[in-house]
Structure 1
Amino acid sequence: MGSTSCSSDEVEDDEYRNVSDVLLALEKAAQTPNVHRVDLRKAFQMEKLNAFQNIYGGDEDPFADNTGGGVVNAAWADRLKKSYSEIFRAKSILQTLLDVTNELQSRFELSQERIKVAKRSKGIKSLPDELLAKIFWFSVWEMGRNGVKRAMELSQVSRWFRNVALDTRALWATLSSVSSLDQTKMLVSRAGPTETFHVFIRLDWPIEIHPFIEICGPAISRWKSLTLNYHRSTDNTDRALSKALVGLLSLFVESRLRSTSLEEIAVIGDRLYPHSSYGCTLTEDVQHWATNLRSLRCSYFLPSLSSPLSTISTLVIIHEIHSLMLASPLKMLLELLLKLPNLSTFELEAHEAHGKYRNEILPATECSTITTFRLQLPGFPLEDFISSNGSCIATLMSALCMPSLEELSISIGIMDHDENFSESESAKLSQRLSHLSRALLAKHSGQIKSLFFDLWIETYSPEEDVTSSLTLNIPFDTITYVPSVTISSFMPVIFSRRADDEDLRHTSDITSECLLLPELKFIGCEHMTTVDLRRTIGSLESLGVWSRVKKLTVQDCKHITREDALNLVGEDRLQYLEWHVELQRSRTLDVDDDYGIESHYSYY
């Protein structure tokens, strides 16, 4: 007597096909014309599921009256258990489908990007390889540490692109300690024997740093810049950072690794916990292995130096300078400046600079070699500003003496601007702004050759024109001897003899014989009107100094026409320029998700 039976393999094949039919049905539904017009929430509402109808479609739901006290029918409870299992499996299938489609979508996006690049490449086939290599370099360089990814993408577009990319050694000269060792070896190889490197090391990364150093260490003589990042938030961040940084530098020294090409070191602390990101001592070992070091950039980190670094000519600091910290960042900053005897350029982005200074008195600190000082005060709240000499920023500027200063750039981002200020509020805030400008300018008036003063709205970018009720009042005696003054302001500008204090108004007289202001520029004052410019000139006339201004430049001030400017200034000393100026008003050492760094700093 014969019998028929199915093997286990045949059963599995049937089950596989049944599940796979879900994929076919999904693709068929996605191919339906105008499927984008379908309300999917309505099409897939849970009431349409058989599992829902089996449980709640009839009148057997024992919990329909919300009493919860009825006797549950055994058959209904069995259906509930089975339906729950079905929905669980359906959800598992949908999640797997979502994972698969996400992966496929990523592959599609990559292919689409390659198609776009390939299309763009058709328009540049006539370019010589040398020019294409330059384009590649700019494209990769703007990506910072992640430029390696861009270089690899370019090398995969076509054989021509690949050959140009591989021949352009600079595209492969960015090394990161968070990259795989295989990728690091590949980059060192492709960069070749003469290219200089930009190296990024994350000090709090759990991976052992020695293998990375072993791979790229032999090329340390060709390192151009070194960025050290630490942004793990722990209670002992200062000790951990100090230990990691000193340990790394000791590793270089002990291994007798020296870099004659290294020009810049950047140390990036934790932006959320700046109070725990200083206190690290850098020893003279730095100069032993980096003999050509020129630039030191620190973000939320203030090092202390055990001995002077004579090679440093540029210092860039981003830090909070309020006095609520255990140690005074202002004192540490001044001590750092004294350990850089040949410093010529000092750039400071000071946060929380408006509050009252509560620490010990700062000693007068003379930095006789500094010729360029660029100060930025982002997110500055005028309403909270301590307008007396006791503010943190005024205390710093009072202690800091730069007798050789030639170029001074000041940029202030006002964060509490309101177009609806009352008259009394506007007068109060304008007076505080006047005190701030005096604190920033007073000690340098007899030295500098050029001044750039930039005042902008930090909290928003107004779509429409701003009619500010505030006024930027610049005490003229602070800029009396400055040959060239450039101002960019969103509010009207006037000049006065001194600050708005009554007791100061009669203590300073300006004599025209000692004036030296041949050039005054208003650039990027997008909200300045003809009335505002007339008021500015009127303030100079009231001081008796307008006739001493040799040239007045109006550039990118859209509400002032050439004709109006000519009527106010006169053809003999007006320079009117219409082209747009993009002012870069922030200096950041930004840490990306992995740890990379992007640097942007530019004043007009």
Structure 2
Amino acid sequence: MSPESEVSEVLLALEKAARASNFHLLNLSEVFGANKWSAIRNIENDVYPFSNNLDKKIIDADLTSRFMASAFQIEAIVSMLNVLSSSAGQIQSQFKLSKERISAKLSKGINRLPDELISAVFQFAVRDEGNEGGRQAISLSQTSRRFRNIALRTRSLWNILSSSDSTNQLETFIARAGSNEEYNIFVHHTSRMFAPGIDRFTNACRSSASHWKTMTLTQDDKLRVSNASMNGGVVVLLRDLSLSFVKHGLQFPMLEELDIRGSAKTTYISSIRENLGWAPNLRTLRCAYALLNPTVLLSSVSTFDFTQSISGTFNHSFVPLRLLLNFLSYLPNLTTFRLELQGANELVFDTVFRARECPSIISFYLRLRGLQVKVDPPPQSSSLASFLDALRLPSLENYSISLGFGDSGGEMDGESWTLALGELSTELMPTHFSESSRLTSLSYNLYLDRDTPLAHWEEVVPRDNRAFYIALDRIFNIKTLSISSWIRVQFVKQDPYLRKIDIRERCRLRRLNFVGCANMGGADLSSVVSSLVCEFDVWSNIGRVTIQGCKNLAYEDVMWIIGEEKLHYLD
């Protein structure tokens, strides 16, 4: 590449950076800090680059050569930037008048909007930015005099406090939000957040502590540090934050939600006993790739979400599930439990978990992502099967199962694929669930998980005999059944000797919902109804059938199959 071509790449890089989303929210002083320059890194291990008598400290030939290379490099950069700045300034001057005229035309429409509507739009825009919400609020307030007045009057625009904000920004946000606003806190795991960094953030925000509503801890997936004190990821961040809170005597009586998001590539399990006494009224706890080790019961928590990967790429991947069972015992008043697992059917271990009863849980949402339907290994020996067998929920009323498939299984024949899926669905309904008289609501959601890498993005559903079997004799106590599936649905019975009269007498199904079954046609629905009428004789007991968002089911066809009395059709 010629020198001219290499230099022209600078302009292309600048233009690409200028088009980056949320460019206006970046702290350019931080992005282009001296520590980011190779000219500085080239010599900083030998001498302090900003010393007043640098020439006296550069004595050997190698360091002299590196220093002179850095000096010439900086001079060349300054020369290019001077020309770029001059050229950009000239273009900016040419564009300025036209830009102002176009902006004036656009603002006429905006000026007709009431302040209340603009304020509502601003609030949505700020919330969408998450931890960058404060900077978005600043940007909106600097757009025009009217926008500034609206932004300053809308106190909820300034209630996002992030560890990435400067002390002055945090103090400004708190002053603008006021003492009665509820605050959303974001703390990001970086090398600069520790020790003085945590105390800086805590001190800057302490005046708002009594009104903290939510707190989110995050970390960069690409974070690589040599500092051993940081190797525990977000759980270490939580520990150090807790120490800082205790040190400063801070309590957060309004804090209702704690969201801990670790790295998807690592599982952070706290080896230190955590005391969350500073959040006495915590209601919702979310942990992704991180699990706490509490010292006391978290009696106030009623909702717990846990996300984890248990794919074969992790050694001893059953360990998080075992620790999860233990952690649930610290949540005596938990009513809603959401569990998301990735790669859940890839592992096979001869693992037995000790049974753990969670008597307060009423709703359980199980989401499995990146599933690969396989004939082998047998699912009954999987960690997931052992976990569900050990999870005892005597008060469970609502059970939701979401299955996200990494591919459509086109490489397997339909019958083998269907049988393997049937075994998996049996695994997800252990006996103590299926025989529970309290469990009356069940939902299945089967979908192609497009967020996972697929060999073919536009992969089509195989046109063969594959189906999702629902064993009616394993859900006798279910009154409301909701199904969303990208393949055919078929009711079956697991016990071949079960008589039709026994099924009719024991089945309590009263409401059947088909939602978003995009590939279900009239023939598929007719087959389902036919089996409920002829094979199981339970159709007469079903009072309502809801069809919603099933694009291949026309109202006229559905009306003919189901009948007007039972049908509830939603387009």
Give the drift of 1:128: 3.5
The superposition leaves residues 182-215 of structure 1 with CA deviations (integer Å, 9 ceiling, x where unpaired) of 2222212211121111111123331422122111
The superposition leaves residues 312-351 of structure 1 with CA deviations (integer Å, 9 ceiling, x where unpaired) of 1111111123575347111100011111000011111111
Counterpart residue identity of residue 564, structure 1: D
Among 449, 452, 461, the residue aligned to 2:440:
449
1:159 corresponds in structure 2 to: 145
Give the drift of 1:361: 1.7
Distance of aligned partners of 1:108 and 1:129 in 2 relative to their CA distance in 1, 3 Å threshold? farther
1:591 corresponds in structure 2 to: none
> What secondary structure does 1:358 align onto?
coil
Q: In 1, Cα distance between the equivalents of 2:362 and 2:127?
A: 29
Among 302, 319, 340, the residue aligned to 1:313:
302
Among 387, 390, 395, the residue aligned to 2:381:
390
C-alpha contact (below 8 Å) 2:336/2:364 kept by paired residues? yes
C-alpha contact (below 8 Å) 1:468/1:492 kept by paired residues? no
Q: In 1, Cα distance between the equivalents of 2:483 and 2:91?
A: 51
> What secondary structure does 2:151 align onto?
helix
Corresponding pairs, count:
481
> What secondary structure does 2:415 align onto?
helix
Q: Is the aligned partner of 1:342 residue 2:330?
A: no
The superposition leaves residues 406-449 of structure 1 with CA deviations (integer Å, 9 ceiling, x where unpaired) of 22221111112145x56xx2211111111111222344333223
1:185 corresponds in structure 2 to: 171
Among 272, 276, 292, the residue aligned to 2:281:
292
Among 309, 312, 315, the residue aligned to 1:325:
315
Aligned-CA RMSD value: 3.4
Moved more, 122-131 or 556-565: 122-131
Q: In 2, Cα distance between the equivalents of 1:508 and 1:426?
A: 28
Q: In 2, Cα distance between the equivalents of 1:388 and 1:508?
A: 28
Counterpart residue identity of residue 403, structure 1: P
Normalising by structure 1, we get a TM-score of: 0.72
Among 110, 127, 146, the residue aligned to 2:132:
146
Q: Which runs of 5+ in 1 are unaligned?
A: 1-22, 27-88, 499-503, 579-604
- Taking the TM superposition and a 5 Å limit, the aligned residue runs for 1:100-179 are 121-179=107-165
2:187 corresponds in structure 1 to: 201
- Taking the TM superposition and a 5 Å limit, the aligned residue runs for 1:216-295 are 216-231=205-220, 232-233=223-224, 239=232, 241-274=234-267, 277-284=268-275, 286-287=276-277, 289-295=278-284
Counterpart residue identity of residue 423, structure 2: H
Q: In 2, Cα distance between the equivalents of 1:111 and 1:479?
A: 71
Give the drift of 1:152: 1.9
Q: In 2, Cα distance between the equivalents of 1:113 and 1:345?
A: 53
Moved more, 377-386 or 238-247: 238-247
Distance of aligned partners of 1:225 and 1:109 in 2 relative to their CA distance in 1, 3 Å threshold? farther
C-alpha contact (below 8 Å) 2:235/2:292 kept by paired residues? no
Distance of aligned partners of 1:573 and 1:384 in 2 relative to their CA distance in 1, 3 Å threshold? same
Q: Which runs of 5+ in 2 are unaligned?
A: 1-7, 12-74
2:358 corresponds in structure 1 to: 367
> What secondary structure does 1:472 align onto?
strand
> What secondary structure does 2:484 align onto?
strand
Among 548, 568, 571, the residue aligned to 1:575:
568
Distance of aligned partners of 1:243 and 1:137 in 2 relative to their CA distance in 1, 3 Å threshold? closer
C-alpha contact (below 8 Å) 1:355/1:392 kept by paired residues? no
Q: In 2, Cα distance between the equivalents of 1:508 and 1:136?
A: 62
C-alpha contact (below 8 Å) 2:510/2:542 kept by paired residues? yes
> What secondary structure does 1:316 align onto?
strand
C-alpha contact (below 8 Å) 1:242/1:280 kept by paired residues? no
1:379 corresponds in structure 2 to: 370
Give the drift of 1:97: 5.3
Q: Is the aligned partner of 1:519 residue 2:511?
A: yes
The superposition leaves residues 372-394 of structure 1 with CA deviations (integer Å, 9 ceiling, x where unpaired) of 11111111111276443111222
Q: In 1, Cα distance between the equivalents of 2:245 and 2:99?
A: 42
Counterpart residue identity of residue 139, structure 1: A
Give the drift of 1:102: 7.6
> What secondary structure does 2:380 align onto?
coil
Distance of aligned partners of 1:354 and 1:126 in 2 relative to their CA distance in 1, 3 Å threshold? same
Normalising by structure 2, we get a TM-score of: 0.76
Counterpart residue identity of residue 341, structure 1: P
C-alpha contact (below 8 Å) 1:385/1:391 kept by paired residues? no
C-alpha contact (below 8 Å) 1:483/1:516 kept by paired residues? yes
Among 483, 486, 496, the residue aligned to 1:487:
483
C-alpha contact (below 8 Å) 1:173/1:196 kept by paired residues? yes
Report the identity percentage. Answer: 32
Among 427, 432, 457, the residue aligned to 1:439:
427
C-alpha contact (below 8 Å) 1:357/1:391 kept by paired residues? yes
Q: Is the aligned partner of 1:544 residue 2:532?
A: no
Among 502, 510, 522, the residue aligned to 1:530:
522
Give the drift of 1:358: 2.4
Distance of aligned partners of 1:169 and 1:356 in 2 relative to their CA distance in 1, 3 Å threshold? same
Q: Which has the higher contact order (CA 8 A, sep 6+)?
A: 1
> What secondary structure does 2:428 align onto?
helix
Moved more, 383-392 or 254-263: 383-392
Counterpart residue identity of residue 574, structure 1: L
Q: In 2, Cα distance between the equivalents of 1:349 and 1:115?
A: 52
C-alpha contact (below 8 Å) 1:373/1:408 kept by paired residues? yes
Counterpart residue identity of residue 422, structure 2: S
- Taking the TM superposition and a 5 Å limit, the aligned residue runs for 1:31-70 are none
Counterpart residue identity of residue 158, structure 1: S
The superposition leaves residues 15-60 of structure 1 with CA deviations (integer Å, 9 ceiling, x where unpaired) of xxxxxxxx9xx9xxxxxxxxxxxxxxxxxxxxxxxxxxxxxxxxxx
Q: Which has the larger radius of gyration?
A: 1
Q: In 2, Cα distance between the equivalents of 1:111 and 1:312?
A: 57
The superposition leaves residues 226-279 of structure 1 with CA deviations (integer Å, 9 ceiling, x where unpaired) of 1122443458665465544322202111211111111111112121122xx113
1:35 corresponds in structure 2 to: none
Give the drift of 1:528: 0.9
Give the drift of 1:131: 3.2
Moved more, 197-206 or 123-132: 123-132
Counterpart residue identity of residue 427, structure 1: E
- Taking the TM superposition and a 5 Å limit, the aligned residue runs for 1:458-469 are 458-459=449-450, 462=458, 467=463, 469=465
C-alpha contact (below 8 Å) 2:182/2:212 kept by paired residues? yes
The superposition leaves residues 575-601 of structure 1 with CA deviations (integer Å, 9 ceiling, x where unpaired) of 2221xxxxxxxxxxxxxxxxxxxxxxx
Distance of aligned partners of 1:143 and 1:106 in 2 relative to their CA distance in 1, 3 Å threshold? farther
Q: In 1, Cα distance between the equivalents of 2:132 and 2:466?
A: 43
